[in-house]
Structure 1
């Protein structure tokens, strides 16, 4: 290169160019030649590396090397060779202008830092994509961990570049930066909160990708599709996307339906409101009529025999129906629903089944059905629940009961008066 430099310099002097102008022309000629060398070196190195990685990925069973190629890691690594060539040759280009050499060296160092950051970024994104293909890690917040590491890489990279630009050692730069830690904490408050929250979420296993969560404060009701450092993305059942701050999963309350999805059934908990005045004791004639309902026929026979024996032993005066023990239409209806649900094909028989009364209200007496559907899919769950209550509401009149319905009495108009 020294010979080439002298050749260009002597050539420009020989054609009548002044000494100082010859130095400028000499530098520009060498700089142009260096740019061509850098371009050719970069293209060759990049092509060799990409072809090598591509052929290697085709031969191996793992898809990690395929992901390296997809995230352009070989392309970024290929820039190292032209950078080394530039560092070796640029002193020759600026031999006559040593004052430029210092600035160019600083720029090359900054460029080297940028290349290293981009290489690390490509490798981290490769790990992120690879981890998401593993069944054991598919529901973990990998994005948060990768973003945390990438955040530290960017901080170190930017700090290193600034330290190079102001010609200050890396250690002294960070010592000076420590004095501004309060400002940095304020700037990165959401990031720090998200980082802490993502760690707590992962440790406590409170949310996984794929979980169905409900968070009324943010209007979220759907499946978690992504967990990263700043937000949790939830795809609602109406196909909209809700973004929830990651730290909100720690600061606010939400409902995770994972337990239901992992269990043997989905809970049905709904009430029928019955008019209190329709509740009454059953006469013998009404009991005989209800015995025609097959699923409670045996129950009524056994129960009637037990009650008659008790009343006879205690000499109960049955001329008044309230004396002694009696069956009520509500009690028989409750037993009917219990037996019906226990025999329903859509109900999980291994889980809790109950029909119970709740406290009376101004709207009537609630009769609650509490059970679990064997099919947890939303559409099928709604169908099973509707089927049960269709039957229950249609069965109410057979027991001389009435369902409460609010009726509005309109005040007479002034014209009618």
Structure 2
């Protein structure tokens, strides 16, 4: 279909296709006294005299045209940078959702595919495609429902859709968003996305349509929305402020993360108990082997744990993790035959450790390595902000205790506490 040019006052706009001209006539932006021209015409002609659009003017209600004329905004093809800033604003608005969804799914994938690198890579690829689909779906829904997105409203960008009902409009916008990610962003693959961005920028600078726009000049400039700016700009600043606060909160954990080198790992409940050596739950270069002198069984524990190698005792072991501020006391006791009263033993044990910790909970059952243990939580008697946790495993007249004292309760400390218990209790008889 021929490309049309039209006038708005002293300025000329175009080229646009016939459908856009009809939309401009319907909305009152092109009146009977404005001029039209395309390559098959010898001269400019008033829109009201053009037979191609006679039916569009005939469908207008009497008097409605004059009501829509003033004030008259300029409809011009949107330039590259305006379109870029509008899209970046929309991505910033969606980034918290991407962070939450991506983090949770990635952690779940790591837990499921731990130790299976091909499976983890496949899960990461599927997650990436899901996020791309989400990044395409959310703007498509917004434009299908409201005709715009927050970023496009603020920067005055309008994407024309040749449909009226919701589902055809949604399919149009959803397909266009996918084309933007492929032809304009190279699916975010560096450095390919830089090349595709420069390619589309050059096309738009010479008044060509972008590769992902099927209709020429279907992305137009409207008057920016001041109301949207008043609402959305503070929201974006709030999101940026929250991100800065989160970075400040976790800055103290950077040194710990670097020395620990651990990613989120499976919970200790999922590790089989009957293995001689507990599976490595942290990267190989961050672990070392510890052999339980009493049972002769080995375990892989993080290198951050220090323990006395020259301790001749086979019943008590002290471990310290200076980078996390954690201390662990592991001990073995004989509690008699299988008929010993566990309740009486736990009460007596609680009394014996009252100089170290003050319980804040009752004894409760939990599982480590697939077997039941008893656990009580509390605070250290020396510091109210220091957490203490006592775990007991009883079997066949033997009791293994693990008392872990932790200043605070960060995510890294919680992860390492579970890793340590899983490893240690994997070596007991």
> Which has the larger Rg?
1
Give the TM-score normalised by the residue count of structure 1. 0.23
- More helix, by proportion: 1
Give the TM-score normalised by the residue count of structure 2. 0.23
- More strand, by proportion: 2
